[in-house]
Structure 1
Amino acid sequence: MKTIFTQGPFLTLRLAILLLSSVVLMTVDHRLSYLESARAGVATLLLPIQYVIELPVSAGRWVSDALSNRAMLLVENSELRDKQLLQAAKLQKLAALESENRRLRKLLNSAREIGDNVLIAELLGVDLDPYKHQVTLNKGSMHNVHVGQPILDAEGVMGQVIHVSPFSANAILITDPSHALPVQINRNGLRSLIMGTGIVGRLELQHLPNNADIRVGDLLVTSGLGGRFPAGYPVARVTEVRLDPGQPFADITAEPAAQINSSRELLLVWPAITAFDDEESS
């Protein structure tokens, strides 16, 4: 090629020959495709070189896509975990609401069976003193709550109100050691006094002689004596009767009918006004 383009008298002739040859070759290739096989062979030989040249670009594109996909997957996983946690919390709340609805339905059914005037109250707090079994309710004197008013849950008597403020009230539970409640055996009407022991699931029946007609499983209900608790409310069920000939009274324990440790919704009870009460008030 160097000799072709060197300065000399035949430079113009040589250039013309080269141009003519190029035109002829391009025409022949375009018209007859004689050089197709040669071009294919050259392309085949140059293919590895093209791959090598394009390798950095392809590798960079692959790394970029991989990093982008990984970042997207991390974001999606984080969002899915957050959604899963939120759904789990909602499910727990729904389970709690379902359980609360069951308790309220049971409580309302009990209220209809009682026949007295009632008001549903919720627990605001529980006294943590181990020697006191007392709770705080979210109803007070603004709701006509008064001292001595009985409180019940869906299963039975829980206690009575001992202090009232405008929007809350304190109540003592029947398991408090200082609480006593007149009861009678539902089976035979035998009357006695049941005392709290300071243990949630244990009450003691007082002043029943060894020959008293009382059995394990007997239901104890309010007797109505004392004027605070209307008669007939379930209080406890006898769990053990121990007779000691050397003692004047039997040792009798009972389990509260109310769910002392788990009830959160309670009933405040006002005795229903009877026709006799209406005549007296008139």
Structure 2
Amino acid sequence: MNEVFARGPSLPVRLAIVLVLSLAAMLIDTKVENFAAARTYLNSMVSPLQYIANLPGEMMSWGAERFSSRQKLLADNKELTNRIALMNEQLQRFKILQQENNDLRKLLDAPVRDSVHKMITELMAVDTNPYSHQIVINKGAIDGVYLNQSVLDDNGIVGQVSEVGSTNSRVLLISDVTHAIPIRIERNNVRFIALGDGRLDSLKLQHVPHSADIQEGDVLVSSGLGDVFPEGYPVGVIEEIGRDESRPFADVRARPLAMLDRLKYLLLLWPSDQAPENAIGPDDQLLLESTINDATKSEGDL
């Protein structure tokens, strides 16, 4: 009976043949001097096949790199474009508000508020007592710091200096239960006292009549009374108004505008006649505003 498929040599026989051929090739390569040239030709013939075999992998790597770089560039460009738009809008709004404020003051013949001197300070430590909201800053008496001096961040009033050391000082935050600050509502100039509530995100307004013209969202600014905080600096925003007629006063709470839970760099304020030499004065401020205006004008020209 004839087999349909003829069987080839067995696996051991094939292995033996391969080993014999390999040994023969190694002997020829070492003994025959002219075989090196033949090996070079053989490698040259095989090299195109190697390039072709590697081509799909190279193309995939190149495409993935190009796609990733393009996506990153598009994302970065979108983020930068959004930032530029927001910064330009803020610069335009601040310039318009400043011009309107100056025009109104001239119209009402009101004196322009005296410029204050400033100095940047940095947070050193936070009081670990949960019932006391105090921090320590890295400026002291040698820097001209004095008791009850105003301290701000880039959003609003933070507190006032309660203790002065030679190289550092302790600041009582406006959220401390022992702190009080005279404020007024920016919308209608109604004046109140804002007390610390023992929480970093809350202030309580004292003795607010039920008939008082006060609304949620009203901005509170320092009134300047008490000769501690300069007039007109942001303090907080009204968030909750509780009117219970059985009680003599309304329960009004506000959220501080200063980021009391994430303080890092702060500003110390001095009256012009008490400022140290290394404080930032009005002339420096005018120079800074001129630089910002020139930069804004250059952006507009572009």
For normalisation by structure 2, the TM-score amounts to 0.54
**Does residue 1:241 correspond to 2:241, yes or no?**
yes
Q: How does 1:6-25 map to 2 (within 5 A)?
A: none
Look up the match of 1:185: 185
**After superposition, where does 1:3-82 map in structure 2 within 5 Å?**
47-48=23-24
Aligned to 1:10: none
**Residue 123 of structure 1 corresponds to which residue in structure 2?**
123
Distance apart, 1:261 and its partner CA: 1.1
Could you tell me how far apart the structure 2 residues matched to 1:199 and 1:135 are?
A: 14
**Deviation string for 1:236-275 (max 9, x for gaps)?**
110011101101111000000111111200000012359x
Q: In 2, Cα distance between the equivalents of 1:131 and 1:210?
A: 30
Equivalent AA in structure 1 for residue 132 of structure 2: K
Residue 232 of structure 1, CA deviation? 0.8
| AA in 1 matched with 2:146 | H
Quote the residue 2:298 is aligned against.
none
RMSD over aligned Cα atoms: 2.8
CA distance in 2, matches of 1:238, 1:182: 15
Distance 1:218 1:47 in 2: 95
* Cross-structure match for 1:201: 201
Q: Which runs of 4+ in 1 moved over 6 A?
A: none
- The answer for the alignment partner of 1:86 in structure 2 is none
Partner of 2:135: 135
For residues 170 and 249 of structure 1, the distance between their equivalents in structure 2, rounded to whole angstroms, comes to 34
Task: State the partner residue of 2:268.
Answer: 268
1:219 alignment partner in structure 2? 219
Instruction: Give, in whole Å, the separation in 2 of the partners of 1:214 and 1:225.
Output: 20
> Could you tell me how far 1:192 is from its partner in structure 2?
0.8
In structure 2, C-alpha distance between the alignment counterparts of 1:185 and 1:208, rounded to whole Å: 12
- Could you tell me which residue of structure 1 aligns to residue 257 of structure 2? 257
Q: Which residue of 1 aligns with 2:156?
A: 156
Shift of 1:224: 1.0
Deviation at 1:45, TM superposition (A): 9.0
Measure, in 2, the Cα distance between the counterparts of 1:46 and 1:255. 86
User: Alpha carbons of 1:157 and 1:45: their partners in 2 closer, same or farther (altered >3 Å)?
Assistant: closer
Larger Rg: 1
Unaligned runs of 5+ in 2: 1-19, 31-89, 99-113, 275-302
Find the counterpart in structure 2 of residue 79 from structure 1. none
1:146 — aligned with what? 146
CA deviations 1:189-221 (Å, max 9, x no partner) are 111110111111011001010000000011111
SS in 1 for 2:208: coil
Structure 1, unaligned stretches of length 5 or more? 1-43, 55-105, 275-282
The residue number in structure 1 matching 2:167 is: 167
Residue 153 of structure 1 aligns with an amino acid whose one-letter code is D
SS in 1 for 2:167: coil
The residue type paired with residue 196 of structure 1 is G
- The aligned counterpart of 2:12 is none
- Separation in structure 1 between the aligned mates of residue 239 and residue 22 of structure 2, nearest angstrom: 98
Provide the TM-score with structure 1 as the length reference. Answer: 0.57
Residues 212 and 168 (structure 1), Cα distance of their counterparts in 2 relative to 1, 3 Å cut = same
